[in-house]
Amino acid sequence: MISKTVEQLAVPSLETRASFAEIVRTIAAHDAAMAARPEMNSVEVGGTPASDTPLAFPFTVAAWNLERCLFPAESAAHLAATNAPVVLLSEMDNGMARTGQRHPTAEVAETLGMHYAYGIEFIEMGLGSDTEREFCEDEFNAKGFHGNALMAAVPFSRPFMLRLWGERLWFTDGEQPRLGERCAIGAVIETEAGPFVAVSTHLESATTAVYRERQVKELIDALDETFPGLPVMIGGDLNTGNHAGGDFEAEGLFAMSAIRGFTRYGGAARRDDHAAEPDHPLARAGDEARLVPVARAEDRRDHDHSFA
């Protein structure tokens, strides 16, 4: 569990990032390089929350895989319409050419009046896919960060990042090589009924249900050890149904998490047309959740999975 926080993540030089391509393609070599990077082992905390009082019930938790967040202003407008005081975001760029070298998490948080925690899932070694390169005006990434975020309209405490179990699948990817591993970002948020732990995570897409089940099991293990007895809400892009023909019921993570006391919400599988579909948030010891798909105002792909 990574608990070190900073106001701004350190930025490795272009030369340092270029050297990542020379690392021997083994998990041990990769992890040694990742352990040496301060930006990969800290959480950026910023933004100003609109309120300083505990959340009142009922409240909405919104989650969205913004797929790089090409359109921060429009995305913030969609989120504002949900009136959600807690937001869980996946695939958020920071200093990437394809998103104009911007920090969309900080921009969305400022627009919404929210406190945010941001952690790096991957440092991208390239500019992205062929489609994403069409958005690039620069031939370099100022930072190369790609990660997840948690936002809240009230102050939070004990922000953290947890690296999920994995086999460094993207380190050897030919099209989009990356240093890093999937992660979860979370914090403790106060409500009028007491604190709960909100977690924004992103499970692996390029693998099987068994792999994702292990990721969630070890995430729950870590949460139970660090936050014993607290209610927990886990949301984000769980990538359910990948490599299973879109059959999310093939995911063992749901039965496993149920044994651990979690309730699954939602029930839609990934759709190839990327229409707005809810993923499957998991909650334990909380009131019943209400799920509402986030709809697009324009016919433009600006997200992957979403729910509120």
Position 300 scores a pLDDT of: 46
pLDDT tens digits, residue range 114-148? 999 999 999 999 888 888 888 888 999 999 999 99
Query: 190 pairs with which residues across the strands?
Result: 195
* CA 37/CA 60 separation, integer angstroms: 36
* Percentage of the chain lying above the pLDDT 90 cut: 72
- pLDDT score of 150 more than 90: yes
List Cβ neighbours of 218 (8 Å cut-off, separation of 6 or more).
164, 165
Position 3 scores a pLDDT of: 97
pLDDT tens digits, residue range 14-55? 999 999 999 999 999 999 999 999 999 999 999 999 999 999
The upper half-sphere exposure of residue 239, i.e. CA atoms within 13 Å in the direction of its Cβ, equals 21
